[in-house]
Amino acid sequence: MTVPTPSLDPAWIARTVTIALDEDLGPVPGRDVTTQSTIPPEATGAADLVARQDGVVAGLVVVPEVVGQVAARLGLPVPTVDQRVPDGTRVVRGDVLAVLTGPVQVLLVAERTLLNLASRASGVATHTRRWADALEGTGALVLDTRKTTPGLRALEKYAVRCGGGTNKRMGLYDVAMVKDNHVVAAGSVSAAVAAVRDRYPEVTIQVEADTLHQALEAVAAGARFLLLDNMPTPLLAEVVTAVRAVDPGVELEATGNLTLDRAREVASTGVDYLSVGGLTHSSPILDLALDLEPVGR
């Protein structure tokens, strides 16, 4: 498994922004009763997108789509977006991330939607960067999971990549992950692996193991990626040594109840990855703001 280059599908961005704007403005074209009452459509201005906290930014790539769709709904010119830093950049409080110039109505109508998306993504990237920094030099990488916000998985996994992490799988469709309930249903690890290989021979198979016996059974069945779940460090080290003795090429992941203060200890066992669901399900946002510049500045 390799760390993908951060990118986000433009078609996904467009669909997601449309849904977010419908949620905020109502069905197309929608309305902002405050902004459209107090600001004439011909008024123009500039606004700074600013970091209010130190962190790592992500999601700035959605900003042009948000202002473009808002402008189309209002029938006004599209503001220019002068992005000052790329996604994945470490920033400090007060840094200007982008300058938006155009109709003030568009800027203010777009404000909350672009902040919601970029703040959420930046929070995930910031949290991920802490794990990536903690693992620096160990040879282990931090992985995300499917524990994502419904509808925002692509954005959150993109943010993980921006923060120096790695995506484990995008969904149930691209990688087979044999977990304890699958083993119960199939009767054994070997039977579950065989069933997947028979039905979907082209798909990579990963197997969860709670014990040394399960890990060795999975390797014997042909699994090339193991999730070593909730193992104390001594057992984890024992399993890594035993599996490597049988097949050095098997990729190994520690998962379950991992914390930043244990990251290097867990990595020292020789695992390739640490899987951390909290990257996406428990990251607070990074506080960003859109500050309209005073007229005449």
Nearest Cα residue to 176 out of 197, 154, 156: 197
Tell me if 141 sits within 8 A of 36, measured CB to CB. no
Q: Is 229 a catalytic residue?
A: yes
Q: Is 157 a catalytic residue?
A: no
Which of 65, 95, 217, 229 does the annotation list as catalytic? 229
| Count of Cβ atoms closer than 10 Å to residue 211 Cβ | 13
| Count of Cβ atoms closer than 10 Å to residue 81 Cβ | 19
Which of 84, 90, 147, 264 does the annotation list as catalytic? 147
Enumerate residues 6+ apart whose C-beta is below 8 A from 10. 65
Nearest Cα residue to 87 out of 112, 108, 110, 117: 117
Which of 65, 208, 253, 272 does the annotation list as catalytic? 208
Alpha helices by DSSP H, the chain = 10-25, 35-38, 63-74, 104-134, 153-162, 180-186, 189-199, 212-220, 233-246, 263-267, 278-281
- For residue 219, give the amino acid letter: V
Q: Is 9 a catalytic residue?
A: no
Q: Is 65 a catalytic residue?
A: no
Which of 84, 90, 179, 262 does the annotation list as catalytic? 179
CA geometry: angle 157, 162, 166, nearest 5 deg: 55
Q: Is 156 a catalytic residue?
A: no
Find out whether the peptide bond into 201 is cis, omega within 30 degrees of 0.
no
Which of 52, 112, 146, 262 does the annotation list as catalytic? 112
Q: Coil, strand or helix: which one is 51?
A: strand
Q: Coil, strand or helix: which one is 257?
A: coil
Q: Quick one: 278 exposed, middle or buried, by C-beta within 10 A (0-12, 13-18, 19+)? A: middle
Catalytic residue numbers, as ranges: 112, 147, 179, 208, 229
